[in-house]
Structures are given as C-alpha cells and as structure tokens.
Amino acid sequence: MDTGDMLAQTVIEIPNGMSYAQLELQCATRGGELLAKTVWDLYEGRAVPVPQDETRSTYQSFPSDEDYIVPVADWSASHVYNFICGVADWGEPIKLHVGSEYFVVRKAISYSLGNIRDSQDAAYFWRGEELWIRCKVGWIGVTNPTIFQ
C-alpha cells in the first residue's frame, strides 16, 4: 500500500496489553509529529530520501473468522494476552482452542509465564470467576468465558 522513498521513520513501543485503538492513536500522533518535522526538513533542504527495500515488505489482509481462533498450545501466554487485548474491541468472538474445547472470551485479565499450578496435567482450571488456561509457555487468565461447541 505504501511505496516510494522514505523521508522519516520512528520506532513505536507497544507495551503489553495495548489495544488496537490505543496503538492507532499512538501511530497517528507520532505520524503527525513526523509529518510536521519532515515538511520543515524538506523546506530547509535537510530531508534525505531513502529507498524502501521492497524485499522486506509484507501485506496482511483483514482478519477472517479463522484468525480469531487462538491455538493456546502453540502460543505463549503473553502472545495470547496481547492478542486478546489488541483485538477485543473489534467485537469478533475470540475462541481459545484448548485441547478439544473452545472457549469464547472477550477479556484477558492477566498472564504468567511461570508455573502457577502444581499439577501439570490440567489444561485449565477455575480460580473463582477467572478461567486460567495453560499455554505453550505460561498461563492466561480470562473472565466470563463461554464454551463454544
């Protein structure tokens, strides 16, 4: 979608738990700052165009229903947590695939990359109203899950 030489770029830190809306706002704010600086650099003759390396470009289409199915056995707990936090506001059902079951979730509350359970045979357990699910590495905690058949 974006071709041509680059005049400016910056790194944006993405903390754990950031939503897509928060990231979009941060990108817009940083982009506006870069645009203002770049226009001034062009006016002053300081802007130096840098060709884009097209071999490093990627494209990702808008997510399909299958993209909202999370294989927890293949992902770390931090990956699952950040995915849920990132796309939860989109309103699509996020399905956590746990063994032969699917849990539809809308909110992740926390995660741990360590072992939070003595027994390693359970794929998930309840702690009050919270469901804790074992991931490839660590555990993810969610609230108000529903079982999807």
Give the strand pairing for 94-98 and 69-71: parallel
pLDDT reported for residue 69 = 96
b or e along 98-127 (b: 16 or more beta carbons within 10 Å of the residue's beta carbon)? beeebbebbebbebbeeebeeeeeeebeee
Tokens 């695939």 — which residue?
97
pTM, two decimals, is 0.84
pLDDT (0 to 100) of residue 1: 52
Kindly give the confidence (pLDDT) of every residue in the chain, 149 residues in length, as a single tens digit, with 9 standing for 90 and above.
Answer: 577 889 999 999 999 999 999 999 999 999 999 999 999 999 999 999 999 888 888 888 888 999 999 999 999 999 999 999 999 999 899 999 999 999 999 999 999 988 887 666 789 999 888 999 999 999 999 998 988 76
Task: Tell me what pLDDT residue 119 has.
Answer: 64
Query: Where do the domains of the chain lie?
Result: 1-59, 65-148
Question: For 65-148, which CATH superfamily applies?
Answer: Formyl transferase, C-terminal domain (3.10.25.10)
pLDDT of amino acid 53? 86
Torsion angle defined by CA atoms of residues 147, 104, 78 and 88, in that order, rounded to the nearest 10 degrees: -160
Q: Can you give the pLDDT at residue 60?
A: 82
